[in-house]
Amino acid sequence: MRLLFIGDIVGRPGRAILLERLPGLRRDWKLDFVVVNGENAAGGFGITEVICNDFLDAGADCVTLGNHAWDQKEALVFIERQPRLIRPLNYPPGTAGRGANLLEARNGARVLVMNAMGRVFMDPLDDPFAGVDREISACPLGMGCDAAVLDMHCETTSEKYSMGHFCDGRVSLMVGTHTHVPTADAQILPGGTGYMTDAGMTGDYDSVIGMDKSEPIQRFTRKIQKGKFEPATGLASLCGVAVETDDKTGLAKMIAPVRLGGRLAEARPGAWD
């Protein structure tokens, strides 16, 4: 089974390259399932129903979120009627939407998608480790699902690595989001789980993590907020990670970083070209 995870879509440039490239990637790489992190898609902050539907229409099977999940207030409403939009599972009970869902891939396989948010240097939500454990225990790989993907949205590499090893052998892919920089550590962990600390962002890298450079530099050098953050509007790169799973076990047998277009050096799963 071929899975593609695409990192945080930032603003209009990120949306544009995703909508332009995803249909061709689905066709050329014969992708069975695609997950897109969309929590920065609407002007860098949150997601709207129109944008979410655009991603799904372009070929995404699922859209995950993060700490900006509710920046566009309409998300609190439309997430209830959109089963393919997944917010962090460790929000308190009663929060709108769902933190995990079992979805059908193009090849008919069952894919469990989970989204969790870290607690180091972020909002102190419920324990993500306990929440993830509940989900994968209720829908175990190879029994309840044919593949399982976890988007771990957090600041620190230590928390992401800890979650990766915590899930090793129990999910197909554990990939980090939020820090917007693609890491060089794509690997298959000892138990068979594909792992990458951060998928990187899909947006303009001539920026400060996707935002126009002037305001972040102003705040760092002057300690004065002069305006609001606005997404950079230059040429975007599409970043993420590709995984191929074993049909019998659901575990990873190949993992490769993906970087297409824009300023970054290109990377793609050579075995799929």
133 exposed, middle or buried (CB, 10 Å; 0-12, 13-18, 19+)? middle
Contact 167, 150 (CB under 8 A): yes
Q: How many whole angstroms separate alpha carbon 92 and alpha carbon 131? A: 11
For 134, list phi and psi in degrees, rounded to 5: -60, -45
- 68 is an active site residue: yes
How crowded is residue 267: how many other Cβ atoms within 10 Å of its Cβ? 18
The closest alpha carbon to 196, from 177, 175, 180, belongs to 175
Please name the residue ranges forming H helices in the chain.
11-28, 49-58, 75-78, 128-138, 157-167, 214-222
Q: Look up residue 240 and give its two tokens.
A: 């993420």
Residue 76: beta bridge partners? Answer: none
- The CA dihedral of 66, 72, 73, 75, to the nearest 10 degrees, is -60
- Given 68, 153, 178, 180, the catalytic residue: 68
The closest alpha carbon to 24, from 238, 254, 236, 204, belongs to 238
Catalytic residues: 68
